[in-house]
Amino acid sequence: MTLSLFFLIFIVTLGVTPLIGSSKISLARAFSDSISTSNNVDANILFQVRFPRILLGALTGAALSVAGAIFQALLRNDLAAPFTLGVSSGAALGAVIAIALNLNIYLLGLPVVSLFSFLGSLGAIMLVFSLVRTRHGEFPTGVLLLAGVTANFFFAAMVMFIHYIADFSQSFRIIRWLMGGLDITDYKTIVSISPIVFLGIFILLFISRDMNLISTGVHSASSRGVNVARIQKVGFITASLITGTVVATCGPIGFVGLIVPHTVRLFVGPDLRILIPACMLFGASFLVACDTLARTVLAPTEIPVGIITAMIGGPFFVWLLKRKRPA
Amino acid sequence: MTPPTLMKLENISFTYETSPVLENLSMSIEEQDFVGLIGPNGSGKSTLLKIMGGILKSDTGSIRFKESPVSKINKKLFAQSVSWIPQDHPMVFPFKVSEIVLMGRHPYLSPLSFESKEDFEISQRAMETTMTAQFSDRYFNEISGGEKQRVMIASALAQNPEMMLLDEPTAALDLKYQVQILSILKNLNAEHKMTLILAMHDLNLASRFCNRLILLNEGQIVRDGPPQRVLKKDILEQVYGVEVDLDSKDGNIRVHPAIRS
């Protein structure tokens, strides 16, 4: 029921945002048969510029939001997210290494940058997981955030180092990529990353009830027949995979994985069987809306969408922290 | 005639990091036993319950449930027979009481599925048995400690187990709730033939409700039997390291720490 509300938001967002932009386009002209395709400016803007960008935004928003919901459930801490845990910056380090090494190649149909990015995010989550977990299997907020900050600093330093020693053209690519943006894209990119994102989300749905139980406590989950170690492993690897995949393409776009699961949980509750699809729909809508803002607010100048999400996400995070603190 | 054995532990040892928690412990649990696991803090009660519940693996020894080694039983199948309830229930996410109880149906469900009508009915019965149905729509985090404990019992009951393991179910509860929880358990034991193992600190409540007490100290069983055989002045004083006075009323032994000033 509430899920259909999120579906409606999703449909409306994807229907309306292609029409908004710095240059006015007319649907009538875009779909007109009388103008040849190569001369049809409106159609080119709509189909070659805005559509792929919006699809990439939707995929990225969905992936980061679902990953956030999974990290929160598995770590039993609602301040966990790809960005706060340092997973995004781990992915960034992986991607920057691949860019600096000029690994512009494909392996098994997947871009090598994505593979490096995935390894970076997986490394980051493993580091935080092993650093923070207490002997009772808990992840206290303070230590978790500190570990995330530490991981962020460390990976950022590594990124800066690589940036410093890279040559000029690589350096430009790195800095442009690090800003996070959805602007440089085409259908080929979308076709190559969407199977990974959808497969990942399906795997996470498959183990969603097990993760529900883990989110209430590892021992009680175990006593109800959940193979805790295996589910944690599959959950972390899959969430890192989808994070790494989209970060490799769009750069580290912050706070989406924090804002969206929180907002959605207020409406549909914490059951991941509902929360995951709802995060997918709302995360997609949210990032596409933020990107539309990024495209238009200073038009014709475009600002990276990561700036918009951080400007919303920063205060949101402060509000969460304040609310969490015991009175 | 003795009732059939439900669970048998032989030579169980467990070491946490470098300190031994359980040492060469053996015992067997019979069907419809109502066992109070007593002993000082750190005597290994919680660890023993987790090993019996399949949550921790012992370093040595064997544990069998109805003749089959627990390590060989599928985790979900084992959860259909044995349930475990932790001492406290920190909850990060806003689950409702009914959702928590329904989680007890997990071992019966396949992936990607939602609970059936039957699962809802079983959960409803579990909530009625534990008097939690009237607040099934409230958030778990907003109910009192005694209510939480009853909800957790309802959830464990929804697993439809033959044996329930409870880690200090009455700790941190006031007198009324202590008696209420134990009465629910007593009823489950008598009416539903549920086998119960409770870790407990209150020796008087343990002697009043349990038909068998197991006294643990430093990871070993000091004594095992009916309350009147376990609650002996010399044994308790030795294990707890404090002077005690015992008296008995209507066949129930009561233990008082002797405080001399």
Q: How far apart are CA B142 and CA B156, in angstroms?
A: 20
In a domain, A197, yes or no: yes
Pick out chain B residues at pLDDT < 50. Answer: none
Token couple for A274: 């509902």
In a domain, A267, yes or no: yes
Cβ–Cβ under 8 Å, residues B166 and B158: no
In B63-92, the residues whose Cβ lies within 8 Å of chain A are: 75-80, 82-86, 89-92
Pick out chain A residues at pLDDT < 50. Answer: 327
In a domain, A142, yes or no: yes
Look at residue A321 in the predicted model and tell me its pLDDT.
75
In a domain, A202, yes or no: yes
Look at residue A46 in the predicted model and tell me its pLDDT.
75
Q: How far apart are CA B31 and CA B194, in angstroms?
A: 8
Q: How does A79-111 read in b/e, with b if 16+ C-beta sit within 10 Å?
A: bbbbbbbbbbbbbbbbbbbbbbeebeeeeeebb
Determine whether B105 is exposed, middle or buried from the number of CB atoms within 10 Å of its CB (0-12, 13-18, 19+). buried
Alpha-carbon separation of residue A27 from A19, A57, A218 (angstroms):
8, 22, 54
Alpha-carbon separation of residue A41 from A23, A179, A184, A207, A319 (angstroms):
10, 29, 19, 46, 45
Q: How far apart are CA A88 and CA A60, in angstroms?
A: 12
> What would the pLDDT profile of A191-221 be if each residue is shown by its tens digit?
888 999 999 999 999 999 999 999 999 899 9
Question: Which of B55, B94, B104 lies closest to A219 in CB terms?
Answer: B55
Max CA separation in chain A (angstroms): 71
Cβ–Cβ under 8 Å, residues B170 and B202: yes
A77/B92 touch (CB, cutoff 8 Å), yes or no = yes
- What is residue A9's three-state secondary structure? helix
- How many CB atoms are located within 10 Å of the residue A35 CB? 14
Best probe of the A interface among B57, B82, B85, B92, by most A CBs < 10 A, is B92
Look at residue A327 in the predicted model and tell me its pLDDT.
42
Domain harbouring A181, CATH code: 1.10.3470.10
Alpha-carbon separation of residue A149 from A50, A89, B110, B220 (angstroms):
35, 10, 39, 45
Total domains present in chain A: 1
CATH for B5-226 is: 3.40.50.300
B106/A225 touch (CB, cutoff 8 Å), yes or no = yes
Look at residue B258 in the predicted model and tell me its pLDDT.
83
Q: What is the DSSP letter of B105?
A: G
Residue showing tokens 């803007």: A45
Please state the φ and ψ torsions of residue B167, each to the nearest 5 degrees. -95, 105
- Write down the ipTM of this complex: 0.91
Look at residue B1 in the predicted model and tell me its pLDDT.
61
Cβ–Cβ under 8 Å, residues A80 and A321: no
User: What is the number of residues in chain B?
Assistant: 261
Chain B nearest-CA distance from A137, in A, is 12
Look at residue A109 in the predicted model and tell me its pLDDT.
62
- Distance, first Cα to last Cα, chain B: 50
Alpha-helix residue ranges (DSSP H) falling in A39-111: 41-44, 51-74, 87-100
Q: What is the pTM of this model?
A: 0.90
- What is residue B255's three-state secondary structure? strand
Cβ–Cβ under 8 Å, residues B169 and B145: no
Q: Is B103 on the interface with A (CB under 8 A)?
A: yes
Question: Which of B76, B85, B96 lies closest to A225 in CB terms?
Answer: B76
Would you tell me the crossing angle of helices B175-191 and B117-129 to the nearest 10 degrees? Answer: 120
DSSP letter string over A174-227?
HHHHHT--S-S--HHHHHHHHHHHHHHHHHHHHTHHHHHHHTT-HHHHHHTT--
Sequence-separated (6 or more) residues with CB below 8 Å from residue B154: B101, B104, B123, B126, B127, B129, B130, B132
Q: Which domain holds residue A45?
A: 40-324
A270/B93 touch (CB, cutoff 8 Å), yes or no = yes
Question: Which of B80, B86, B106 lies closest to A209 in CB terms?
Answer: B106
Determine whether A59 is exposed, middle or buried from the number of CB atoms within 10 Å of its CB (0-12, 13-18, 19+). buried
Residue showing tokens 């991981």: A151
Q: How far apart are CA A238 and CA A69, in angstroms?
A: 12
Domain boundaries, chain B: 5-226
Specify the pairing of strand A110-111 against strand B195-199: unpaired
Chain B nearest-CA distance from A76, in A, is 6
